[in-house]
Structures are given as C-alpha cells and as structure tokens.
Amino acid sequence: MYRDEYERWLAADLEDVDLKMELRSIKDDDAAIKERFAVALKFGTAGLRGTLGAGTNRMNIWVVRQATQGVADWVKTQGGTQTVAISYDSRLKGWTFARDAAGVLAANGIHVRIYDELMPVPALSFATRYYHCNAGIMITASHNPAQYNGYKAYGPDGCQMTDDAAAVVYDSIQKTDVLTGAKYMSFAEGVEKGLIRFVGEDCKQGLYDAIEARQIRPGAAKGSGLKLVYSPLNGTGLVPVTHVLNDIGIDDITIVPEQEYPNGYFTTCPYPNPEIFEALEKGLELAKKTGADLMLATDPDADRVGIAMKCADGTYELVTGNEMGVLLLDYICAGRIEKGTMPKNPVAVKSIVSTPLANLVAKHYGVELRETLTGFKWIGDQIAKLEADGEVDRFIFGFEESYGYLAGPYVRDKDAVIASMLICEMAAYYRSIGSSIKQRLEEIYAQYGRYLNKVDSYSFPGLSGMDKMAGIMENLRKNPPKEFAGKKVTKVTDYEKPEETGLPKANVLIYALDDGSTIVIRPSGTEPKIKTYFTTKGRDLAEAEAEKDKLAEAVKPLLA
C-alpha cells in the first residue's frame, strides 16, 4: 500500500526539485519509504506539525494544499466574510507554504489577507479578528528543531480551532486526494483577481496600539536607564518587540547579532526554545559583557518569551515560566489597584499544570483565578465566555508554565510581544524604586512559601512511539500508584473524566500527595513525548529540589 503511494508520488510532477531528489534517493530503502508513506500527518486542534520532506507523513506543499482544502471546505459552510488571514515565521519553506495555502483558498473563491513579511502568532490572531475572518492560518513549528515546519489553524475569534471545527476539517482532508484533490491557483492569479490582498498598515499599527494600551504604569520605562539584551532566536520577534519597546521608552537594547535576523536553520541553537539554556547561551554571554539588567529571548513565532535576570552579585539567573507567570500576575494586580484601573471582579486564567503559587497570589489581590486544560486556546475560550457575557474587561491576565503569557483580550493566543513589554516595564519600575525582579521574586517566596515547579520529558520516537505512550497512560489508569517516594497519593484527578473535573476531556493525570506536592503526567499534544510536572515546597530551594528529585526517581520506572 505505502509502496504504491510512493510510486505515485515518484511519477507525479511535484513542482519541487528537493522532493523529487529525496524520493529518488530512497528508492531502495523500504524503511524510509514506509516512514514517509505508511501514515499521514494527522490534523488536530493544533493543526499539523512534522519534518520537512516528501510523503504523506511529512510537511510539504502537497500536504499543506490538502490541509488548506479542508479548511476551505469548512469556511464555505460558515457564511460570514469568507476571508482567511495568513501569517508565517522564519521556518524553512514558510513563505512557500503560506503562498500555496493562499492559492488554494483563492481557487475556492475565499478571500485572503496575508502578511507581506513574516509576523508572529499574535499578529495572525489579531488580523483574524481585525478583518472579521472566518479562519486564520499560521505557518510555524513553534520551537521545534530546524527540520520541522507546521500549520496552525485558527477560528474566527482568533483562537486556535475548536475540536469540533478541527474534526470537520480533518474529515474533509481525508476525502481530499493529497496530490490531485485540492483546488489551486497561482498566488499571482489570486492577487490579480483581487482574492489575495496583503495585510494593511492599519492592522499592523492596530496591534501595536492594542499592546501599548495595556501598559500597567505608563511612562515607568521612560528614563529608567534599563539595559536590555534581546534575542529573537532568528525568528519573527525582532520587528514587533523592538517597535513596542522603543515606543514605551526602552532604547538601550543590544540585539544578539548571530540571532538577530530570520534564519530557518537556527544555526546557533539546535532547539530554538526559550525554555532551554542552550537557546539563551549567546544572549547570556552578551548580557555579561554589556552588564545588562535583563536578557530576553522570544521563540521563532514570538508567542513565548524566556528571560534571565541580573542578580545583586552580577550573575544572571534564568526565570521559569511559572515564576514569570506569578511575577506578572503580582505586578499587574498591584499596579492596577494602585492606578485605579483594576476592573470589578477581575479574572486571571492559568493551565492546570501551572504553579499553585498563582492561586495564592490571585487570592491575595481578590482576583478570581480560573484553571483550564493545557493549550492556550482554553485560556482564549475563557476570554470568549467573558466576552459573550459582555464582561471581557474583567480578564486581566492568562499564563501557561511553558512561557506563554497574555494580558488583554485583543488576541486569543499567547503573545511574547506584550509579555516582553510588561517584563521590561516591570523591571524598569522595580529599578526605579531601588528593587529588582529578583528581589520581588524572593519577597513573593517569603510571603507564600518556597515553591518549585519542574518539568521532565520522556521521548518516544518512531512509528511505535505513540502506541507506547498510549500503553503507559492505560497502565497508569488500570494500576494507579498508591505512593511516590514514600509519600501517599491522597487524590488522583483523571481529566479523561469530564464529569469529575468540569472541564473537557483530556489525557492528563494529576496525583496529589500527602505532603502537598503534586505530580502531573501528560502526553504532549504536538510531540512524541510524555511530560511530567512536579510541584514541591520546601523551607528553601535546596529542600524543594531534593523533594523533586525523589519524586522524579519514583516516576521513572512507570514511564520506562
């Protein structure tokens, strides 16, 4: 079966020399053919993501056209403006895939608004809302290594597509032959017919205005003397992040030269993910050299940001996603109360795998903290619910431990541009009162307790990886652990049981232990990995870390 499909691709005019050469090079390698053709990339709520190359199990123009035909079929049932917004980041083939998606939509009579330069996820979400689109498409593989690309699909609210819409699209994709099924016209023809238009400057400026309107203490950054080192990690952040920071008065910005401009090969870090030290290494070297107060890095599609803060002894310390989520929540609440801009009955939102320390901070400021499943679309869903009730201004902040933050309802996905602005404003403000981000974090720990949150990942590569992961999760449900490292399990929350959690179904298990620690076990939605999230608490960091290490050792054999 897969050999037949391979032969069909080999005989077809693939419009891409690289694909043709790759197919020829594997003609005697059955395992390589099977790996590319035995299955197809599955379209889900996160869209598509995979390695670039030839075949149904790879990202290429044919798989992109097939997916876009599925999106087009869904859009045609929706009424509305019959318009789709498209953006793309610096990934290899990004512009090619964006252009081909536009060609498929135009051939289906659907209008397209496409960015004329690479722009991040928040810009795509904003344009989808600004032009009242039926859908949005973002060509990105987020923080995956260079050999990946992907395709994120958005609904009319600027939020990642719902399960129901994604199921309809997937159904349509399955009925569309990958090589011959998608309607298609050239980009030039689409432009000529007035079906494809570029995103206007009014929309780009509208995003900047919306972000800058969310300053907590306007003017706090001007004249603060804050020294910043910034890395866009060769992605989309350079233009929007520096634009907004300059506007709010931060102009001492040193860009990491090797990571300044778009480069889909990500030659300076194999994994352009601001969660990991290797991605921040060049920035840290430069921060030490220049004596910067802060080092900031955004991922390629600029929806997530990681930082290192300068400590009193001149060293730099990385800040985790949980710590930054808590710092921003604390800063936004205190600042808005002080300025009289806090709405009545304010709402903040976090994912179930994010730190419980945020719950204590929210309670302290009288803020309702809602918890959602992992994936920022669920935070977007909470904003949509508030909007439907005419109360969208109640939303003040949302975050995920994986370095994603949003303050304001102008987009419905995480936004590293506003996060960068608020982090720099916060640093400038603390500097002006003789404090620092580091000092404020220590004050928060002194007030609420020394929490530690750590994530470990277990990889399951290859075609059998997903089956192994499913088997592990099934075994955990059939034979639930009674204890971990001598700590009794007091409660198991299984998110496969929505009747118990009040949330949509999800493949997540949370174990509450008798000393207040928690362990979360969750397969990734985008990669062949099982993630384990540990929350421990100690009198100091060393004690919290020792507790985490014991729990991690106890979990290891269960995931082998």
pLDDT in tens, 9-38: 999 999 999 999 999 999 999 999 999 999
Mean pLDDT of 255-277: 95
Using DSSP, state whether 33 is helix, strand or coil. helix
Q: Which amino acid is at 412?
A: R
**Which sequence positions are flagged as catalytic?**
142
* Residue 365 binned pLDDT confidence (cut-offs 50, 70, 90): very high
d(CA 468, CA 560): 10
Predicted local confidence at residue 277, as pLDDT: 93
Global pTM reads 0.95
* Residue 518 binned pLDDT confidence (cut-offs 50, 70, 90): very high
Structure tokens at 204: 């780009």
Which residue carries 């690309």 as its tokens? 149
Q: Give which of 382, 390, 349 is closest to 367, Cα–Cα.
A: 349
Residue 442 has pLDDT above 90, yes or no: yes
Which residue carries 């991690």 as its tokens? 552
d(CA 535, CA 548): 7
Mean pLDDT of 207-219: 98
Using DSSP, state whether 539 is helix, strand or coil. coil
Residue 525 has pLDDT above 80, yes or no: no
* Residue 45 binned pLDDT confidence (cut-offs 50, 70, 90): confident
d(CA 64, CA 19): 14
Residue 136 has pLDDT above 90, yes or no: yes
Mean pLDDT of 349-370: 97
Question: DSSP character for 301?
Answer: T
User: What are the tens digits of pLDDT across the range 457-512?
Assistant: 999 987 788 889 999 999 999 999 999 999 999 999 999 999 999 999 999 999 99
CB 103 within 8 A of CB 187: yes
Helix (H) or strand (E) holding 484: strand 483-484
CB 424 within 8 A of CB 331: no
d(CA 324, CA 416): 12
Phi, psi angle pair for 260, to nearest 5°: -75, -50
Q: Per residue in 131-146, is it b (16+ CB within 10 Å) or e — as a string?
A: bebbbbbbbbbbbbeb
The C-alpha angle with vertex 393 and arms to 389 and 396, in degrees rounded to 5, equals 120
d(CA 121, CA 132): 17
Helix (H) or strand (E) holding 72: helix 61-75
Beta-strand ranges (E) seen in 289-389 are 294-298, 305-310, 316-319, 347-351, 368-372
d(CA 232, CA 535): 30
Helix (H) or strand (E) holding 88: strand 83-88
- Residue 319 pairs in a beta bridge with 307
Predicted local confidence at residue 462, as pLDDT: 79
Residue 526 has pLDDT above 80, yes or no: no
Residue 449 has pLDDT above 80, yes or no: yes
Predicted local confidence at residue 173, as pLDDT: 97
Give the rounded percent of residues in the chain with a pLDDT score beyond 70. 100
Residue 234 has pLDDT above 90, yes or no: yes
Phi, psi angle pair for 116, to nearest 5°: -90, 5
| Dihedral angle computed from the Cα positions of residues 218, 222, 223 and 229, in that order, rounded to the nearest 10 degrees | 120
Phi, psi angle pair for 531, to nearest 5°: -105, 140
Mean pLDDT of 367-385: 96
Helix (H) or strand (E) holding 114: strand 111-114
Q: Give which of 352, 351, 325, 326 is closest to 519, Cα–Cα.
A: 352
CB 440 within 8 A of CB 532: no
The residues near 85 (Cβ < 8 Å, ≥ 6 apart) are 112, 113, 114, 124, 127, 128, 131, 133, 135, 136, 137, 154, 199
